[in-house]
Structure 1
Amino acid sequence: MTKAKKITRDNIAVKYKVSPTSLAEHIFSVSLSISANELRSLTLSLPAWIPGSYMIRDFARNILDISCTNEKVHITPIDKQTWHVSNKSDIALGDIQINYHVFAFDLSVRSAYINDEYAFFNGTSVFLKVHEFENNKHIVTIDKTDTMPWAEIVTSMPCDDTSSPSDNLRVFSCDNYCSVIDHPVLIGKCTRKSFDVDGVTFHLVFTGEHDLNMSRMCNDLAPICRHHMQLFGDMPVDEYWFITLLCKDGFGGLEHSASTILQYAVSALPKSNEQQGMDDGYRDFLSLCSHELFHLWHVKRNKPDVYVQPDLSQEVYSPQLWIYEGFTSLYDDLTLARTGIISPEGYCQILGQNITRLLRNPGRHKQSVAESSFYAWTKFYKQDASSVNHIVSYYLKGGIVALALDIRIRELSKNTCNLDTVMQEIWKQYGAKDIGTPNTLIHDICRDSLDMDIAPFLDTAVETTMDLPLSQLLNALGLHLHLRARSGNDDKGGKPAEIEIARDFGALSKDQPVGTMITQVLEGRAACDAGLQLQDNLIAINNVEVNSKNLGRELNALHIGSECDLCVLRDGRLLHLKMPVREAIKDTCYITIDDADTFKKWLTLL
């Protein structure tokens, strides 16, 4: 006779059942079942933010209702995202089932979304945490119901081998709550293909049914995956999922422990009859995949100590984000060049565009990259049209600091070490051991593992707002940095321009039926000194009607040292402003290769 297994609090599982019950109303139905046994109360909550996206999202606002099948159980809201569950008779809860509905119409990588083709969710949007059992096993049943019987279910969540699902049901399980919210789920029509790299299976999945060149994309992603695996010397998972929410316009990515959710424009991807060519849209998709896969190691495993077990109910601050997003922002495009997907000249164009973005950012002189990291919650993730004047991106400047750090390490070590060495040490000492990193991480690695004092460089590059000596640094790679004036609103830099706007303006605009509306004004530039403001409609310069097509020409006709008249409509009032005419600021960069052998050696060194 087999002895019955004793039920204890430790082996009680938290069980969820999720169903997309209304495509038209965008609603998930969720049930949460738990054997509370002797407990007289439970605390439930939903996260306020999702790891990797440092902004309070208040996901609980999308819970439409919540109830218990046992009428004797009372559910009391404690705050915007927390509920207290107790028995009205003040006795043990026993087996209970909590039912609730989630509104899902946020087409992004962070939340939940339902349309006629698919239903998608992150666990942070649908799985209520049972605080008393957060470290117990969590079992998830996905029920397609009659709403989506034709749908596939795609997720990196481990299947529950003990279950016997029907055609409409699939069952998964995770060891704890932190794990169950780290495996997004897609239910719907899909275009998909898998490929293997050195024994690891990668799955490429797109929402909807599309005529895409899946073989080409898999072939292009394979060397990117191999590069990252070889860099770290270890692969944390046996399978990895690239899951893309296709849309008309959109861009985004969010990393998870065995997958990434991407959002991308379907028109930018190669069709089945397109075999060659590397336009910017497809290149940027490969770079996005590279970026998010890099996070498999560097964010999901290597991470600041405060993010090892973060409090998802409130902001958690760290000055280290430049190390994580910045370093990853260097490696995403660099990997494309190292693997030959783009040419050395193509990488120089990307690098020139990145430097251009930084040079056009007056906020770099007001906020250090460490401060940018710390205030990500309130400044970087909550930008307005004037943010460019007050903050700097820890992605953008962090990536350029990473490039400069690599060059400095090579110099100090006489080319025996580089940034790859630092990445490998971070993984070996922290990520592979599930240890969070300290704020002094890069100082410590360079001092203790590379036997070098990097403090003079880091203290300036990371803690101050001083510009890096980019021209000198790039010379060490066999590159030459050129600066020129902008050629127009759409000029991203990265290459020479046939025509430049020779007069300073310092504002961006968007054309209206008459005139052009100001969308950004840069501090200290001519437009700012003239008093031009956001949402002003600039109608004319010196009585000549302007728009984006002729603005540069009219500016170039002005004489330096004079003033010009700006005719502006502001909130229904006609104004005339005087703008000083000055020489244009050279804030646009492009890079040429002076020493091809030196640059090639830097690109290929791993």
Structure 2
Amino acid sequence: MSTSISAVHYAIRPARPAAHLFELSLTVAEPDPAGQRFSLPAWIPGSYMIREFARNIVAIRAETAGRAVALEKLDKHTWRAARVPAGAALTLHYEVYAWDLSVRGAHLDRTHGFFNGTSVFLRVHGRDNAPCTVDIQPPAEPALADWRVITALPRARGKGAAKAHGFGLYHAADYDELIDHPVEMGRFTLASFEAGGVPHDFAITGRHDCDTARLTADLARICAWQVKLFGAPAPMDYYAFLATVVGDGYGGLEHRASTALLASRADLPYPGMQGTSEGYRQFLGLCSHEYFHTWNVKRIKPAAFVPYDLAVENHTRLLWAFEGFTSYYDDLALVRSGVIGTDDYLALLGKTASNVLRTPGRLRQSVAESSFDAWTKYYRQDENAPNAIVSYYAKGALIALAVDLQLRAASGGGKSLDDVMRLLWQRFGQTGLGVPEDGIEAAVEEVGGKALARWLHRAVNGTDDLLLARLLKPFGIVWKAEAAVAAPWLGAKLAGGNGEAKLASVFDGGPAQRAGLSAGDVLVALDGLKVSASGLDAMLARRRGGEHVDIHAFRRDELMRFEVELADAPADKVSLKTAARPSTAALRLRRGWLGG
């Protein structure tokens, strides 16, 4: 079946890469006779913060049959065109500034172009369900003639249709699909693999020395395991990883058949690399996390997101499950697919537990509250964030672990969180229905009973620490929490920067706060000796808990003196080890959980 130009048609061209400007046109064959409205989303699904993408539209005009049409701006991201004659098409021409090197926005220069649809494609009000076509056009500069395109957006058929990895016509069933397929264009390394019966592409933009054969072999195992977890067939017939590598970067954003990634080039595997480095494990975990979202978030989603309202915040108390459960399964997929070993997995799990313990805010905010306030707190953190919030990613992952362990232990390995995820997939992911606010607890109750559902309710809505040491014991896993350093504790976190000992955060109830030190203070001397960021730990290592030290610090331009009573470092470093002589039952449970 051929695809012709739709009644809603877009064209996008990297018109001025050096100026970071995409040029777009949008033609509506049958505009609203009362005056057609257009708007750009204020946020992008998966990143819960109002970002005001419309601020990057630097020029916009409307026309019909070559004649100008008045265009009125109604609010920060909405425009209305004047009426046009019956039967006449309306076309908008606009430019978008693209200089956001992240997974959320758009970026363009002479090395590459990248965009999310939410940053560039205006919504046509009243035509959300109309099919769309998009003409992705190449740059005009001859030096960029070898650019290619990578996207999971379906290619059109017929005249002008894009060829594989080429410029040309693409199509989407509706606006929601249109904006859920990021596009990368430029010179990228392309590697391919198959997993779960689905072809996958991995595109790498940026200088690198990646061993793509190893990367794709590892990802094939991880992706295949996830498809098997939920059950074939996979919900997409093609999947694309779009990775931009830089000197120092980390991030990912999920889409229905692709993910955009930002990574440090040093984290990629290189030819001849032995073992699995910490950076590579982290990168594989990021890929695994975004891939798991293909099911959990993109298709199993809160009722508050069905449909998305991209003009305002969409509040839900369930991000602890959608991001937290995904954060549990991302690393679990690595060990259960055999890409990493048990010891490596336990190290990753211990790191997650440590990160939660080092956040005083976990004792103030529940993960349900953290989820609801993601828009104003988690995504807009300030110097007091460690004291005020808990990560629904990290603690949500630990809650998922606790539910999984309890299900497995109570059933002798017969039931697990996998059963809960498959139930959610069948009931919500495959039907398109949104998960109600009590839907996760209801699914856990159906699989594990009322007592476990009550436990989950308390864990999600309370602030108590999870008793994971007790839950891990039946699996032959030993939990140990100790101080990260032998030196006494100042109770503050230093900011990265130019080497000065500047306080980024001061922890509630810690020595620094009790002495009156505040975030932003720059430490200059301890007991009369100069302090630097790199030397502070060594100076503290020569003291003991309970000892008093004299600290001079600048607050703004004022020099102040503080007497600080140091404390012993808290036991917030968690290590997990397999027991030396586990029972047969413990081995059976552990193998069912981690494989091997």
Q: What is the distance in 2 between the residues matched to 1:119 and 1:477? A: 49
Task: Name the counterpart of 2:305.
Answer: 307
Say which of 288, 291, 294 aligns to 1:293. Answer: 291
Deviations 1:5-62 (A, max 9, x none): xx9xxx9620000000011100000000111267241110100001111000100000
Say which of 8, 16, 26 aligns to 1:22. Answer: 16
Give the stretch that moved more between structures: 214-223 or 529-538.
529-538
Say which of 150, 154, 159 aligns to 1:158. Answer: 154
Is the 1:123–1:181 Cα contact (8 Å) retained in structure 2?
A: yes
Secondary structure of 1:69's aligned partner: strand
Q: Measure how far apart 1:559 and its partner are.
A: 4.9
Task: Name the counterpart of 1:462.
Answer: 460
Secondary structure of 2:46's aligned partner: coil
Task: Name the counterpart of 2:593.
Answer: 603
Give the stretch that moved more between structures: 138-147 or 168-177.
168-177
Is the 1:255–1:295 Cα contact (8 Å) retained in structure 2?
A: yes
Is the 1:108–1:252 Cα contact (8 Å) retained in structure 2?
A: yes
Task: Name the counterpart of 1:81.
Answer: 77
Say which of 470, 475, 495 aligns to 1:472. Answer: 470
Say which of 477, 485, 492 aligns to 1:507. Answer: 492
Q: Which amino acid aligns with 1:597?
A: L
Give the stretch that moved more between structures: 445-454 or 280-289.
445-454
Q: What is the distance in 1 between the residues matched to 2:149 and 2:346? A: 41
**Mapping of residues 262-411 of structure 1, within 5 Å:** 262-271=261-270, 273-411=271-409
Is the 2:61–2:94 Cα contact (8 Å) retained in structure 1?
A: yes
Q: Measure how far apart 1:519 and its partner are.
A: 1.8
Secondary structure of 1:566's aligned partner: strand
Tell me the percent identity: 38
Q: Which amino acid aligns with 1:128?
A: L
Q: Measure how far apart 1:534 and its partner are.
A: 1.5
Say which of 555, 563, 576 aligns to 2:561. Answer: 576
Gaps of 5+ in 1: 1-6, 488-499
Q: Measure how far apart 1:486 and its partner are.
A: 2.3
Q: What is the distance in 1 between the residues matched to 2:542 and 2:461? A: 43
Q: Which amino acid aligns with 1:472?
A: R
Q: Measure how far apart 1:470 and its partner are.
A: 1.9
Task: Name the counterpart of 1:92.
Answer: 86
Q: What is the distance in 1 between the residues matched to 2:410 and 2:161? A: 60
Q: Which amino acid aligns with 2:88?
A: G
Secondary structure of 1:109's aligned partner: coil
Task: Name the counterpart of 1:534.
Answer: 519
Q: Which amino acid aligns with 2:549?
A: C
Secondary structure of 2:10's aligned partner: strand
Please identify runs of 4+ aligned residues in structure 1 that moved more than 6 A.
511-514
Deviations 1:224-243 (A, max 9, x none): 01110010003001111011
Change (3 A) 1:396 1:39: same
Is the 2:155–2:161 Cα contact (8 Å) retained in structure 1?
A: no
Secondary structure of 1:16's aligned partner: strand
Say which of 188, 191, 203 aligns to 1:190. Answer: 188
Deviations 1:447-505 (A, max 9, x none): 33554442321122100111111221222321111122122xxxxxxxxxxxx22x221
Secondary structure of 1:466's aligned partner: coil
Is the 1:135–1:176 Cα contact (8 Å) retained in structure 2?
A: yes
Q: What is the distance in 1 between the residues matched to 2:421 and 2:214? A: 30
Deviations 1:302-347 (A, max 9, x none): 0001112111000000001111100000011111111222221111
Is the 2:404–2:417 Cα contact (8 Å) retained in structure 1?
A: yes
Change (3 A) 1:433 1:557: same
Q: What is the distance in 2 between the residues matched to 1:170 and 1:579? A: 66
Q: What is the distance in 2 between the residues matched to 1:565 and 1:557? A: 14
Give the stretch that moved more between structures: 468-477 or 246-255.
468-477
Change (3 A) 1:145 1:476: same
Give the stretch that moved more between structures: 229-238 or 147-156.
147-156
Q: Which amino acid aligns with 1:155?
A: T
Q: What is the distance in 2 between the residues matched to 1:304 and 1:92? A: 41
Q: Which amino acid aligns with 2:559?
A: L
Change (3 A) 1:38 1:581: closer
Give the stretch that moved more between structures: 451-460 or 194-203.
451-460
Q: Measure how far apart 1:117 and its partner are.
A: 1.3
Deviations 1:500-555 (A, max 9, x none): 22x22111225887852222211111111111111222122222333344433433
Q: Measure how far apart 1:412 and its partner are.
A: 3.5
Task: Name the counterpart of 1:67.
Answer: 61
Q: What is the distance in 2 between the residues matched to 1:391 and 1:359? A: 12
In the alignment of these two chains, the number of paired residues is 581
Change (3 A) 1:288 1:131: same
Give the stretch that moved more between structures: 515-524 or 130-139.
515-524
Gaps of 5+ in 2: none
Q: What is the distance in 2 between the residues matched to 1:173 and 1:515? A: 53
Is the 1:322–1:398 Cα contact (8 Å) retained in structure 2?
A: yes
Q: What is the distance in 1 between the residues matched to 2:317 and 2:193? A: 37
Deviations 1:91-141 (A, max 9, x none): 437112110000000000011001221111000011111112221110000
**Mapping of residues 410-425 of structure 1, within 5 Å:** 410-425=408-423
